[in-house]
A and B are shown apart, each in its own frame.
Chain A
Amino acid sequence: MARFLVRRLVHGVPTVLLVSFLVFGAMHLAPGDPAALLMGQAAARPENAAALERLRAEMGLDKPFLVQYVTWLSGVLRLDFGTSNRSGLPVLDLILGRLPATLELVAAAFILSLLLAVPAGVIAALRRGSMFDRLLMIFAVGGVAVPGFWLGMTLILLFAVQLQWLPSSGYVPFFEDPVRNLRHLILPAVTLAVYLLAVFSRFLRAEMIETLRQDYIRTALAKGLSMPVVAIRHGLRNTLTSLWTIMGMELGSLLGGVVIVEQVFGWSGIGWLAVQAVNNQDYPLVQAIVLMIAVGFTVINIVVDIGYALLNPRVRVDS
């Protein structure tokens, strides 16, 4: 197990390095000058030319691309991610300050969607062709198709502006005020969860239908067990491995959704921070965020692989 972990982590290193290099390159190839962006229109004044040069030098932009990359990378190896171009604050502080908000949002959306998707998928599989099944399938198609931005704005207009039941936006740290934190969490979490719920429930339904056709299900039924018991004890257990895979994949692709939902709801997490950093050409911040995401992906993949072994004894991590 330990050997497996070490090997997977080591394999992840080149991936992360490649991603960091590509992002670094892409940021520097993009047109525009972060120093001029900081200075604004004043950069057009001839008397500010020297100041502009000095600002570029301060940002390290006057050095060749590879030198900049190596300098940055060596900092990262010492866990020094540098400071933001704009605020001068340590990049690590900015990211760690925003991370809890994003993790909370993603966790809430995942838990909410699983709590609903598992029973919905199982019932739909057991009652194929029923009204419930059809409604669920309509929802599943709609939930994947509807854009997060639109759904979020609609929920805001309905629950915050019209009914005034819930706050329209903002983030309150949990330890500052748990009740307000949860009230603010509901709408963005639901917006994200709708997509996940659609994906998970449709997937579970299909997997369950397939599983219920297996011989061991017939055997269990022949023993005299009732269908619901068989479906949960034997059917569901055997679909978990595939569900686990889908969850891992969705967790990765959720990032795009998080960026949009965080913006719509003013949920000040990593996604929104990333968008602003890109708009401001805040290179150190963008690079650190992307690096963190790449590492996150790698770790999720490893966790998913370990999870297989726990869920399915036939899989051995050492093999």
Chain B
Amino acid sequence: MRKAVLTALSLAVLLAFGLAGAGIADAQTLRIGVVGDIDNFDPHWNQLIAFRTFIRNTVFSSLVRLDENMRVIPELAESWEQPDDTTYIFRLRRGVTFHDGRPFTAEDVAYSFERTIENQMTFATKLATVESWQVLDDYTLQVNLKHPWAPFLDDLVEVAIVPKGAGDELRSRPVGTGPFRFVEWLPNDRIVLEKNPDYWNAGHPKLDRIVIRVMPNATVALANLQGRELDAVWDVPVAEAQSVARDPNVVWQRPAGSGSILLVEINASEGPLADRRVRQALAHALNKMVVQRTTYFGEGEAIWSPLPPFSWAYEPQAGYDFNPNRARELLAEAGYGSGLTLTVDVISDVKVMEDLATVWQAGLAQAGVQLEIRRSALPVWLDRYVNHDYELIINTFNVSGDPNSMFDVIFRPLLASVYDNQAMLDLILEGARTSDEAARAEIYKQLQRMTVEEVAPVLIVQTQPVLAVTSPAVTVFPINGRNEVMFERVEMR
């Protein structure tokens, strides 16, 4: 009896220590897997989504940021006012310091604007409408625009604030004002971040450390999650997630609405694709239901609009039913009754692209069109994309909170090169230069209808499910519609 009590007691003590120990040692560190290395930490350079979620939004901050519902909320700017359509006055947060201890002031914002523009890189386009800025005092900054620009705040989300004078060393040692500070980077292995104890948002972040582990592919990453070497895996394809769906130790995490869109960009500058009837025939030959079932296991939403359903400007479009006979008729009207051969470009190891192409190929065959699928490695695909050397090319895009992001990033380059439509171009500009949101929504609805009717410059397929998987120990894991995890709010048991 005494022995039994002793055993029970020692077991209880062991358990208590074990659990307490586990609580202290593990609960504060999130080990998260990402496929592929992040190898450049300069926030004015790197625009990859993995960089944005893991470094850009953890180590760095902007004047404003997006919340889970893709709306702009204050970050380093506490508030702002707009005396007129082209002037913004930002009041900056006081008492914020960079991770190296330097205080944050309006001079750092001015320097970050300057550096972004001088670098001529990706994000310079986000400041293209800015005419000038003045540092009114340490915590007040005035920005003057060349003309009214409604998406300005949405654009500012992309402009990271770096300390004044920061240069190329940011590429390997990032310093910002974000909730986590950079500790170390072992290329191709891991990136370690730790809690910024001086972070302005009291009570955040909840985690003490984030260990970002580089994984060769999703299968290996999921095996690591199941083997308890990881607590989370970011950006998991649905097909892979399905394979672990029945494991009780795996939890799916997803945003309220996905802004990730699978689409086909169309070179409508010459040949058969310059004819609207041919493009409409292509739409009639695409069986979206099969795409959704085979590629995404029924996940995501089949849409025709170039905006995701969560957007305030979204208008559902009826689109084109799957009807190979109608496609055949349209082709005959356009003079291609005797058949047609087209080529579609996909990235060779991106399965969803290949799946879409295969389903479309089958539908088109019924309409008398032979679709050749050209698979290339990413560098080759990108080369064709950049030089518009394609007929049809499959792509994906993450729409931001403002509808302009889709029209500016995807539509405008196409309208300048492979699809001539002045009315569309005018509407895109008008949408961005109109301040009133209700008026803007009307403009974007017109653009959505026009895109569907013309089937140009893009054919929208569907929203892609945005998915991360975690262990049940991860209790809070907010993700927004463009696949960014709000690490500041992530919590573990």
Chain A residues packing against B (C-beta within 8 Å): 30-34, 36-48, 50-51, 54, 84, 86-89, 94, 97-98, 153, 156-157, 160-161, 164, 167-171, 263-266, 268, 272-273, 276, 279-281
Contact = CB atoms under 8 A, between A and B. Distances in A.
A32 B383 contact: yes
Given A268-B186, A268-B188, A268-B214, A86 B39 contact: yes
User: Which of B186, B217, B382, B417: most chain A CB closer than 10 A?
Assistant: B382
A94 B331 CA distance: 56
Interface stretch (B13-21, B96-104, B225-233, B356-364): B225-233
Contacts of A273: 187-188
A48 B125 contact: yes
A179 B338 CA distance: 71
B40 A87 contact: yes
Contact of B172 (A45, A88, A169, A266): A88
Contacts of A160: 223-224, 227, 229
A48 B37 CA distance: 25
B229 A87 contact: no
A168 B385 contact: no
B348 to A, nearest CB: 12
A18 to B, nearest CB: 26
B412 interface: yes
29 contacts: A31-B383, A32-B382, A33-B386, A36-B382, A36-B386, A37-B378, A37-B382, A42-B122, A44-B386, A44-B413, A47-B125, A50-B120, A88-B168, A98-B187, A153-B220, A160-B227, A160-B229, A161-B223, A161-B226, A167-B229, A168-B223, A169-B215, A171-B189, A263-B216, A264-B220, A268-B189, A268-B214, A272-B188, A281-B379
Given A45-B125, A266-B213, A89 B120 contact: no
Contacts of B48: 40
Contacts of B190: 170
Contact of B229 (A33, A39, A97, A169): A169
Contacts of B36: 276
Contacts of B215: 169, 266
Interface string B184-198: 001111100000000
Nearest to A275: B216
Interface string B355-385: 0000000000000000000001111101101
B22 interface: no
Contacts of B294: none
Contact of A51 (B120, B168, B216): B120
B219 interface: yes
Nearest to B169: A88
Nearest to B387: A44
Contact of B186 (A40, A97, A169): A97
A211 to B, nearest CB: 43
A157 B223 contact: yes
Contacts of A161: 223, 226-227
A39 B121 CA distance: 8
User: Which of B39, B121, B124: most chain A CB closer than 10 A?
Assistant: B39
Contacts of B119: 51
A272 B216 contact: yes
User: Which of B36, B213, B215, B227: most chain A CB closer than 10 A?
Assistant: B227
B224 A45 contact: no
In the A-B complex, the 10 residue pairs with the closest CB atoms: A32-B379, A268-B189, A160-B227, A168-B227, A51-B120, A263-B216, A88-B171, A42-B122, A86-B39, A87-B39
B450 interface: no
B334 interface: no
Given A48-B122, A88-B40, A43 B213 contact: no
B128 interface: yes
A42 B382 CA distance: 10
Nearest to B383: A32
B416 interface: yes
Given A45-B125, A45-B412, 15 more contacts: A36-B379, A38-B45, A43-B382, A51-B124, A87-B39, A87-B40, A98-B188, A156-B223, A167-B229, A266-B189, A266-B213, A268-B187, A272-B188, A273-B188, A276-B37
B405 interface: no
B86 interface: no
B311 interface: no
Contacts of B412: 45
